[in-house]
Structure 1
Amino acid sequence: MGDTPMPSRFYVHDDLTDDVRERHGAGSPAAALAQQLMTLIRDEAHVTVLTLREQIDALVAHGPYAPFALAVGIGRAGERVAQQIHARTGWFPAIRRVDLTREETAQGGYAVVSPTGVPLAEQLDGIERARSLAVVDDTIFSGITMRQVLEALSPVVRAHTHAFCLRCVAESLVTLRTLCPVTPGFAAPGRILDEVSFINASGLVRRGSIRRAGRPALAFFERPEWISAWFPRRSEAVTDLCRRLNRILEPTGEPSLPATV
């Protein structure tokens, strides 16, 4: 996939610590490994670890909004975010999921595909009946997934649509905001990849964070050049902890992402 730049600011959403504790127990070997991993990650000066609560707090602070007739969650992650926001605010009383994911192509780029094989237009059938529409995702990075959903809506529907995300690269919102308003919880300034980048901590150890057309999914630790670029001072130790934790979380080797937000 080409050279991997080390971003001057690297944001890691910690969706790993609490999930491992809940699934395996606070005193489990898995929880201990997850804690060690997050400690190593925080030791890199250019890394900022984001928590779910602080991102939700920041998003909610942009409100209030009147309840939307329908909220569309992009994938399981977007659906879960919509549920979490609704629990705090009551903004999304009706939530519907569309299944889309970004996939590496054989040509070295990315494509947005439906993992279920159901075309997006079919998944959005009847959406025009909603008087007001929210589109919700966990992360807006390049913006290609959110853009594909918004561009699939008619101009009439987009006129009463509002998009939300927990975190984003600020420059990626510029194009999206020509389609509809977009409200993020946390927006990182800087040029994508070179100056700023995002990952979920779960993607370091769980397969499915890297999806490849016609090939098995990978976890980030299986791309050593990425780990070296992201965590240059601790790359070997990070990879070792990821590999050890992966053996516990995915004992059969089957991908376990997407998981919770």
Structure 2
Amino acid sequence: MRTVGEQLRQWRHRRRLSQLDLAIAADVSARHVSLVETGKSQPSAAMVLRLAEHLDVPLRERNGLLLAAGFAPRYPERPLDGEALSAAWDAVARVLRAHEPYPALVHDRRWNIVMTNRGLDPFLRGVAPDLLRPPINLIRLGLDPRGLAPHIVNLAEVRAVLRARVMRRLTTAPDPALAALCEELLTPGPGDATRPLESEITIPMIFRFGGRELRLFSTTTTFGTPMDITLDEVAIESYYPTDAESAAYFTAGRGPGGW
């Protein structure tokens, strides 16, 4: 197991910070940062957490840093639908219901779907049954040929956007399972040479069902200052129509399954 100093140094390199940058941000001396990283000084639990906060280390990995330094983990990981997080669960459920008739869902750090609203149901019609067995993975659901991929007109752009998001996540918190999923489904294909995504304000997902197109864009919401690993890792993905015609299909009570 790597020492806490080695792990902190690796996180600092990921964030592209010098020891002086981190020292100034954490209000400690650069010499102390150096001593901690080289193992010549054993940091307190408070110092580990202070450095981790300024390195934007996810809560799951902060627990790992504490363990490496000889301290007990600080952050619990409880089920979102358990009693301890019931208030958060109720709040998320209300957000999803309020977003209807448009689709919305909650996913975890590996893009496994935790909760959905009824607006997503029509999109799941015709999807291969094995893709709908829990945990349903949002990336696999969208990009597998037996899922929604055949209905996405701009599949290359959508794959590029998802790949950029997953790569940002992997930079923040490396995860072998998510990296394997990225390698399997998000590797650029021959048709993926499109215009630079940076030139766009937002990239819509364009679906075609029964010869009619539906255009949606998404927003992502996360919990502010969470103190639980589960809350730190979940995100609410909300989808909105980009034009009046697409909006009308939802507000009129219609959906892709009826096209």
TM-score, length-normalised on structure 1? 0.27
**Structure number with larger C-alpha Rg:** 2
Relative to its length, the structure with more strand (as a share) is: 1
